[in-house]
Amino acid sequence: MFYLLKYYIQMKVLLRNSDLNEALSGFSNVGFVPTMGSLHKGHISLIKKSLNYCNKTVVSIFINPTQFNNKTDYKKYPRNLKKDLKILKKLKVNFVYTPIKNEVYRSKNKIKIHLSKKDKILCAKYRKGHFEGVIDVMCRLTNIVKPEKIFMGEKDFQQLILVKKYIENNFKSKVILCKTIRDKNKLALSSRNLLLKKGDQIKAGKIAKALISFKKKFFKRKITKKLIFTKKNELEKLYGVNIEYLELRNKKNLKLSNRINHSKIFLGYYLKNIRLIDNF
Ligand code: AMP
């Protein structure tokens, strides 16, 4: 009896598409959490949601090379597979999919990805080819896992909007949006935070706090472009960071906005040579 119980809660780690397909056959309401590993509480919140809402949960750990527009960034991306598997086992995840590149890119079928002019904003403007890589890999993974629900974080809001559009137009799967998890100094959790020194993590937390208060202060007032521009300069001077974009945009269509209602402040910046993004 004990042996059987252990068997039922055992997590399966799969490297090949065929093994994953076989393991998943016969199960309905499968939840999927795609990640690039170095798991933190942000990922864990997505996984817990999937475990709660779905019969079986698949977590993928795959650092997709095609979405990195910079080779060094890909090389230095944190990798912690052993620790990740420990976390996933403790959470009682059913299946972990950790493929090599050839497995994911085995199929020659490619969905046509065309980012329109209105999509080439925020990260799409500064990371050429990034979202094309993300959308392509998400379509491939969805085709392999065939989940009913895919859980993704608001932390990467532009990614979420674009992936949701492509996935829901091409597959039966639904993309479920999950709140951003922050640490106690308000810094959004991210695997890239591991690349920051302690002092820089504190700085990044102060920038997040400053923008949370900025949003609160202007809740009922117009936020003009000039106000945003002044805030951007202030943050750059105060924290010695290089801000790529600081923009207020509508949550639904990502059009520029001057009202906080239904909008978010989007931030992309470099702290030393580490690129961080957030939205408030
Ligand atoms: P990544 O491993 O960075 O590719 O992220 C995998 C998923 O976790 C994506 O859907 C992210 O949006 C989500 N995610 C990353 N950080 C957080 C966070 N702090 N809170 C919630 N979700 C997050």
The CATH number of the domain where 222 resides is what? Answer: 3.30.1300.10
Q: Do 152 and 221 fall within a single domain?
A: no
Q: How far is Cα 252 from Cα 161, in angstroms, rounded to an integer?
A: 8
Report yes or no on 184 lying in a domain. no
Residue 151's Cβ-count burial label (10 Å; 0-12, 13-18, 19+) is buried
Q: Do 227 and 170 fall within a single domain?
A: no
Q: Indicate the pairing of strand 263-271 with strand 274-279.
A: antiparallel
Report yes or no on 183 lying in a domain. no
Q: Do 138 and 271 fall within a single domain?
A: no
Percent share of the chain, pLDDT over 90: 91
Q: Do 149 and 262 fall within a single domain?
A: no
The model's confidence at residue 5, banded by pLDDT at 50, 70 and 90, is very low
Taking the centre of ligand 1 as the mean of its atom positions, its distance from the CA of residue 173, in whole angstroms, is 19
Rounded to the nearest angstrom, the gap between the alpha carbon of residue 262 and the centroid of all alpha carbons in its chain is 21
Q: Phi and psi (nearest 5°) for 235?
A: -65, -40
> How many Å is the Cα radius of gyration of the chain?
20
Which has the minimum average pLDDT: 45-54, 219-228, 244-253?
A: 219-228
Q: Do 173 and 219 fall within a single domain?
A: no
Token readout for 95 is 């299946």
**Which domain covers residue 60, as residue numbers?**
4-178
Token readout for 148 is 């009913």
Q: Do 88 and 220 fall within a single domain?
A: no
Report yes or no on 205 lying in a domain. yes
Which pLDDT score is estimated for 198?
97
Q: Do 206 and 117 fall within a single domain?
A: no
- Return left, alpha or beta for 206; rule: phi > 0 is left, psi -120 to 50 is alpha, else beta: alpha
CATH code for position 70: 3.40.50.620
pLDDT digits (tens, 9 = 90+) for 151-171: 999 999 999 999 999 999 999
The answer to whether the beta carbons of residues 83 and 219 sit under 8 Å apart is no
| 278 has a pLDDT exceeding 80 | yes
Token readout for 163 is 């992936």
Which of the listed residues 126, 149, 178 is the one where a domain comes to its end? 178
Q: Do 212 and 110 fall within a single domain?
A: no
Q: Do 135 and 215 fall within a single domain?
A: no
Report yes or no on 244 lying in a domain. yes
| Residues belonging to the active site | 43
* Nearest-atom index, ligand 1, CA of 33: 7
Residue 172, amino acid: K
* Nearest-atom index, ligand 1, CA of 154: 12
Report yes or no on 186 lying in a domain. no
Report yes or no on 240 lying in a domain. yes
Does residue 190 have its Cβ closer than 6 Å to ligand 1?
yes
Taking the centre of ligand 1 as the mean of its atom positions, its distance from the CA of residue 4, in whole angstroms, is 34
pLDDT digits (tens, 9 = 90+) for 46-63: 999 999 999 999 999 999
Task: Work out how many domains the chain is built from and give that number.
Answer: 2
Does residue 263 have its Cβ closer than 6 Å to ligand 1?
no
Percent share of the chain, pLDDT over 70: 97
Report yes or no on 77 lying in a domain. yes
Q: Phi and psi (nearest 5°) for 27?
A: -95, 140
Q: Do 168 and 197 fall within a single domain?
A: no
Q: Do 144 and 260 fall within a single domain?
A: no
| 4 has a pLDDT exceeding 80 | no
- The model's pTM is 0.95
Q: Do 29 and 138 fall within a single domain?
A: yes
Does residue 38 have its Cβ closer than 6 Å to ligand 1?
no
* Nearest-atom index, ligand 1, CA of 155: 12
Q: Indicate the pairing of strand 56-61 with strand 274-279.
A: unpaired
